[in-house]
Structure formats: C-alpha cells, structure tokens
Chains A and B, each alone.
Chain A
C-alpha cells in the first residue's frame, strides 16, 4: 500500500514483475549472457544512482529480496509475476512458473503468477496450457513474440498456431494476455517493432484482454491508434515509467498521449521488477504533474483519481480483485521475510 504525503492509502497492483534466474549457472550460451546483460543495461541506464544493484544480485535475487523490494520497502499490495522461458538461452528457463509459484506460496495472497507458452510448439503448447490451468489456475499469460525457438527468430499473434492457443485460453477462462513486443529479428524487411498483429488478434478475441507492455514503444502512435479502436486493449507502463526520473518532460508527453487516446481506465502500472523497483517509481508517479503546456495541448490531467486507477484499480478489474476486501485481508497478514 502506498501512503500519500497527506496520509491517504492507495492500492498498488504491480502488473509486470519477474522472479528470474539469469545467473551464469543457468545460462545456456552467449545469448543467455547477452540477454541478462541487456536487462542490466536498462537497469543502469534509467535507475536513479542510489537504486543501482550489483550485477550478481541482479542476475539472481533471492526470495527475501523480492518480498522486501515489492512489499516491505516497496508500496505494492500485490504483484503479477510474468513467466518467460527463453529455453534457447537458459537451461531451466529464465523465469519459470514453477519457481515463481513456489516463491509466491510463502506469503499467500500477494502474487498472481502468470504462465507463458510458445505457439510454435503446436499440440504441446495446447497441452501445456491445460497443465498450467490445472496445476496453477492461471488467470493470464505473458507472450514474448521475439523469442527464439530453433531456426525461428520470432512469431506473430496472428499465426494460426497462436490462434489455436488463444481459443483454448478463452475457453479455459485465461483472460489476460500480456504481450511484450521486443524487436523481432526476421523478416528483416519488416518493421521490427510493428504492433499491427495486436489489432487483428484483439478484434478476433473479444473475450480476452490484451495488455501491451511498455505501450508498444517505440511504436506508441500505432499502439494508441489500435487501443483506441479496440476496447479490450490496454497499455502497460513498464519501461515508459522510469523516464519519469531521467526525462520527466518526456514521460509527461508519453502519459499525455496515453490519456488522450486510451483514457484513464486502460493504463496499467508495472515496475518491471527487478529491472526497476516500485518504491521510487510509485513515489514519483504520485507526486508527478504534467507540465501545463503539454496538459493544455492535449487537454488531459493526471489527477489523484486517475493515478489510483493506473496504480491498481484498472488491473484489479481485469483480475477480478475486490480491492476493499483485499486491503482488509492484507492488513491482517503482513509480509513475513524469513531472514528477519
């Protein structure tokens, strides 16, 4: 829970977090090393200096670290853990649903652990979706369309094999599809960050919620256009939000575009932990005002009410969380950390 400077309680649901193992022991090859190195570069490039971690901790942090950073030092009430496998790069997967679920059990009620699948696995992907639903009762999945899989260097949400998976998700009530648009490698002639496939998939699967992480940046305009057309497309603030520290005016322009096009009900907070920690992000967002010239030009404001929506209420709606009941429940069971 975030306490505002004037003493109000704000419910925080952090929509994009990870419990990864990117350590050398888990790396399969140079790609695995380069992947976590790139994350670390994001961390060092956009974090305030007093928030920087050592590389070894960043590669593999502990159960205590994640609870402390999110819920004790950090203001999160709940967090969604996303699974990402990258099996071509990591022996046991980068962040597996099993490892995250085990961690989540220590303090029940705090985490929502999402699954992941690779439509290129065909029938096996469908079986795996059943397994995740039966074993972990997942409410959402994370899609990483730029993931390598043998000769394939990426896939599209509109691939026929992906559609089969989404049909099954809809049938099983796995309603929230988080999409990360990393740079796609092939074919080289296409815009590597294109978000057009979101449009089609969201139209064809009205029963699913499509949450586009980092708002499709660097294709914010395309994303805004799609999200305006499709009522079931949402924007996740991960990666966009840290600019609030290094380039606040730039962040103001991004959030203004989102508010103008999507409106305040379709923007979701995500820290992208452990790339960034929620404590400073939430604090700065709560205290942020859009500069007057930008606010006037776009005719938008970032009011306290809108901040509450972004920080937790919007995501609570997608994940069927009764916020008042949840806050009472969490107040009864403070987070326990084994080492303390």
Chain B
C-alpha cells in the first residue's frame, strides 16, 4: 500500500489524526488501507489531502463519510487554518469534493442526495458494525484462552481493562478499539458495568452467547469480504502509481508497469 511523503512535525500530527478515520465498511484506518495519496501542510497552516479509493465505483456514501471524517480529523490541531480534501478518480468525486470543500454545509449537499435522510443514519449503522466486529475479536480471544460463557458474560469493565490478551494478536489489537466504542458511546461507564453487551446496551446471558457469536461471525464474514476485496482491488489499482521498489511481478509485465531499470534483465513469461 502506498504511503504519501510526510514531511515535518505538523504533517506527522495530521497523519496521526487521520489514522483515527476508518473505512466504514472495513473498520480499518484509511491510513493503513493506503487511501491517502497526498498530505501537504503549508507554512500558513493550510492542509491539503488527496485520497483515492480502491475502485471508481466504491459506494459514494462511504466516500462521503470518509471525506467528512478526514476533514474533521485534519481540523483538530489548533494551528490548522484551513483543510482542503480531494477525492480522486471516483464516479462521484465532483459531488463529494463540492460537498466537502464548498460554501454550503456538508449536510445540505448530502441531504439533497438522500431523499431526506442524513449522514448520521449511515454513520450509526457502521458504528454498530464496528462495535460488534471488534467485540467478536476479543470474544474469540477469550474463547481461545478457554474462558466459559459464564466467565465471559459476567466480566466487568474493570476486569476487562486488566485483561492480558498477549498471544492472541487480533484480540489484543481490537481490545482498545472495542473499549473506545464501548465507553465512548456510553454502553459501559462504571468499573462494575458489564464489558460485553449488545449494541442496545443489554447484557448478554451466558446461554445466549453461542447464538450471539454466530451473529457476530456472519458480520465478520461480510466485513472480511470487503476487506479482502478492497485490498485486492486497491493493490491492482495502486500498483500503477507506487512501486515501493519491490520486484515486479507477472502482472506488472502484463500491464506494462515495469519500471525502465527492471526491463532489461527480466522477460515476461506471457503476453
């Protein structure tokens, strides 16, 4: 995945902020997915960010959500005077860019395309999916450690915070991300609150844990599909822009993407 050139402390600060922006379908940071193509900070504190999605056809509501998230994240540092976000090579790029950078409030542009709906509905849907996806990762870690349904469903927030999940990489990685939504959205607040609840905030009964996990599994299958597709499509699309110095592969020869220096000593085996 490509990473833009990040120069200077200010650009690095913006980059760190951008890592909190996720692709709503994947619940993965856009900076990890390689969507951010360019990040420039001027002396006067103006930030310019270009981003590009895996295909021209990626659903525009996700593009709107990400563009909005990027703008807000980039505005956070006190020194930032202005942010300009550009979505590139997308079927709705003009509308997204007008909405995000125009004089009209972003919500108004969006509302015109939504039959009266609003961005928050979509955001809420994907917040729920992210919550459940992260929860599943932690639950699977605990199950792999041999925890019973009763132990899992009666875990408190304080006990959750004290958990050591090392050795279960995915669970350990998702633990703080799960907590962020759990506490951030008020689903658990006090140390004695249950750590694992439904999106409605209801406790999970031990006998229901298996069914609950099956539902989470279905959700993970959907999100993994998106993740695998997006990575694959992004790799196929981005390869033409960023080489990162790696060895050319067969696909590069087929597409004529081989950098001049590598042409002389390699031959395509096909095409």
Contact = CB atoms under 8 A, between A and B. Distances in A.
B64 A41 contact: no
A258 to B, nearest CB: 10
Contact of A183 (B58, B223, B249): B58
Interface string B150-179: 000000000000000000000000000000
A187 B222 contact: no
B87 to A, nearest CB: 14
B215 interface: yes
A218 to B, nearest CB: 4
B118 to A, nearest CB: 6
B217 to A, nearest CB: 8
A218 B226 contact: yes
A161 B118 CA distance: 27
Nearest to A225: B218
State which size class the interface on B falls in: 35 or more
Interface in B52-67: 54-62, 64
B233 interface: yes
A189 B119 contact: yes
Interface stretch (B73-81, B109-117, B198-206): B109-117
A219 interface: yes
A28 to B, nearest CB: 14
Contacts, number: 123
A336 B236 CA distance: 35
Interface stretch (A17-25, A42-50, A105-113): A42-50
Interface in B214-250: 215, 217-219, 221-226, 228-229, 231-233, 235-237, 249-250
A57 to B, nearest CB: 8
B225 A38 contact: no
B125 interface: yes
Nearest to A219: B222
Nearest to B63: A188
A220 B233 CA distance: 20
Nearest to A31: B91
A186 B235 contact: no
A287 B180 CA distance: 43
Contacts of B251: 44, 49, 52
B271 interface: yes
Contacts of A246: 228, 232
Given A40-B236, A45-B236, A55 B222 contact: no
A37 B121 CA distance: 32
A191 B65 CA distance: 13
Nearest to B26: A218
A254 B217 CA distance: 10
Contacts of A189: 61, 114-119, 121-122
Nearest to A148: B91
B57 A38 contact: yes
Given A46-B232, A188-B114, A247-B228, A38 B218 contact: no
A322 interface: no
B233 A45 contact: yes
Interface in A238-271: 240, 243, 246-247, 250, 253-254, 257
B58 A49 contact: no
Given A54-B254, A185-B59, A250-B224, A45 B229 contact: yes
Contact of B225 (A34, A40, A42, A220): A220
Contacts of A183: 57-59
B15 interface: no
Contacts of A188: 60-61, 64, 110, 113-114, 117, 122
B25 interface: yes
A334 B217 CA distance: 46
A246 B251 CA distance: 16
Given A218-B25, A254-B221, A55 B254 contact: yes
Nearest to B237: A41
Interface in A39-86: 40-42, 44-46, 49, 52-55
B255 interface: yes
A81 to B, nearest CB: 23
A141 interface: no
Nearest to B65: A188
B222 A217 contact: yes
Contact of B222 (A44, A184, A221): A221
Contact of A41 (B113, B115, B226, B233): B233
Given A41-B55, A41-B236, 9 more contacts: A46-B232, A52-B254, A54-B270, A188-B61, A191-B125, A221-B215, A221-B218, A246-B232, A253-B217
23 contacts: A31-B91, A34-B55, A37-B237, A41-B236, A42-B232, A45-B229, A49-B251, A52-B254, A53-B254, A184-B59, A187-B115, A188-B60, A188-B64, A189-B114, A189-B116, A189-B119, A193-B59, A219-B222, A221-B215, A221-B218, A224-B218, A253-B217, A254-B225
5 nearest A-B residue pairs (beta carbon): A189-B117, A45-B232, A221-B218, A192-B59, A34-B56
